[in-house]
A and B are shown apart, each in its own frame.
Chain A
Amino acid sequence: MSERPELSEAEAFAAEHALGLLTSAERRQAETRMARDAVFAGLVEAWRNRLDSLIDAIMPITPSHGVWAGIEQTLPVNDNAADSRGLRFWRAATVGSLTLAAASLTAAVFLANQPPVIIHPVPVGQLLNASLISPSGAPVPLFVAAYDPVRKALIVTSLVQPGKDPAHVHELWVIPADGKPRPLGFIEPGKTKTMPMPEALRNSLALGSAIAVTVEPPGGSPKIDAPSGPVAAVGKLVKI
């Protein structure tokens, strides 16, 4: 009978972290190492994925109703927006308008005691969202895009399964009212990307403009300022 070789010290440590065996000090060490060492982080992730199905054996138990309320009251804006106070103020008020709007921490405390309200601050911009669906296929979003005029960035998420078509790339376009497509950049399958938008493009990213993704050869469309490949998905920018 052949005994399996031992795990390397790094892998054993990675597996122990994934399993949850480490002490507090070792856990901090493992987390720091994951942040610095991509190979080690990959080992931890591989072990998490290996052990993943054990979660199936854990019985779901419904928590009390109060938990959601607690979450809602403490929700900050996403980390990726934390650098802009203007955005923090504004986005919390618009994105959160479906539920409780919180313009600032102070306002959140105040509003926590109020019935749900929608705040309309002086608009400094408007977050625009687009769900991109295939023009011919099922009405399921393949890409989700949000233009943030305060950060002047487009946040795009691809819901396309990676590895399906490695010979091509997905190129993003904006098609404003004049009908002329402008290239925005590329989005890898399965990834989320924050793309800063140069000044020349910002006016094109307006309410009603279409965002489209085309399938292009590596490096993008060989044509100047026009897609060459088929449209994979398209959607209009709308206010949330």
Chain B
Amino acid sequence: MAAATTPEDLAHLMARVAAGERAALRQLYDATCAKLFGVCLRILSDREESEDVLQEVYVTIWRRADRFDVSRASVMTWISTIARNRAIDRLRARGPLAYADQVEDLEIPDGSVSAEALLVTAGEVGRLHDCLGALDDRTQTAIRTAFFDGVTYEALGHRMGVPLGTVKSWVRRGLAKLKGCLSQ
């Protein structure tokens, strides 16, 4: 496991990646690959496919590094957005209703904590967690599932046993409340 890397370290690495330095990409990979692999695996629930996507993700980071703008997003946000987008594209290729088995069914090393438990304990999640927590249970579940599993409204409706329109209105109302709560 790579030593702790600060956001500044990552920003500096990105600048070197943008200048075309492969050794910097390797360092960025070492510092972030486990997190991004976790992101892909959560969405795809398939190790081989997730590793394939992970490979595409770093090639994309390499190709687009010069478009990274430190004033608009952190490196971690930027690269995890690429990872989520690639994984979601791959999931969509399975069909509009596709969703992976829930991550609980995956083989995860012993002693590890579930994502939800981590969400509760991680201090840095703080504000967003508080604001999500203020929503009713089904809205919370819908928003979290959408984010973590990258599923469509249709798949979400299937999973929750409600029509697409219903889940859509829960999510949209929930997002409006979330925005209000976060801006306070």
List residues of chain A with CB under 8 Å of any chain B CB.
Answer: 4-7, 12, 15-16, 19-24, 27, 45, 48-64, 66-68, 70-72, 74-81, 91, 95-96, 98-99, 127, 129, 140-141, 144, 146, 155, 157, 159, 162-163, 189-192, 194, 240
Contacts and interface: CB of A to CB of B under 8 A. Distances in A.
Given A58-B42, A191-B69, A53 B125 contact: yes
A80 B65 CA distance: 9
A49 B12 contact: no
A56 B61 CA distance: 20
B16 A48 contact: no
Contacts of A66: 51
Contact of B35 (A54, A58, A78): A58
A71 B37 CA distance: 14
A155 B21 CA distance: 13
Contacts of B152: 21-23
Contacts of B156: 21
Interface string B60-74: 001111101111111
Contact of B63 (A20, A22, A67, A76): A76
Nearest to B35: A60
B73 A53 contact: no
Given A12-B172, A81-B20, A144-B15, 6 more contacts: A52-B77, A54-B125, A57-B125, A77-B20, A95-B20, A191-B70
A51 B16 CA distance: 27
Interface of B: 1, 8, 11-12, 15-16, 18-23, 25-26, 29, 33-35, 37-39, 41-43, 50-51, 54-55, 58-59, 62-66, 68-74, 76-77, 80-81, 84, 88-89, 92-93, 96, 108, 112-113, 115-116, 118-119, 122, 124-129, 143-144, 146-148, 150-154, 156, 171-173, 175-180, 182
A63 B50 CA distance: 9
Contact of B71 (A5, A21, A61, A162): A162
A154 to B, nearest CB: 11
6 contacts: A54-B147, A55-B80, A56-B122, A75-B59, A77-B20, A194-B66
B55 A70 contact: yes
Contact of A155 (B25, B66, B69, B115): B66
B142 to A, nearest CB: 9
Contact of B66 (A68, A76, A78): A78
Nearest to A2: B180
Nearest to A68: B29
B12 A159 contact: yes
Contacts of B8: 159
Contacts of B151: 20-21
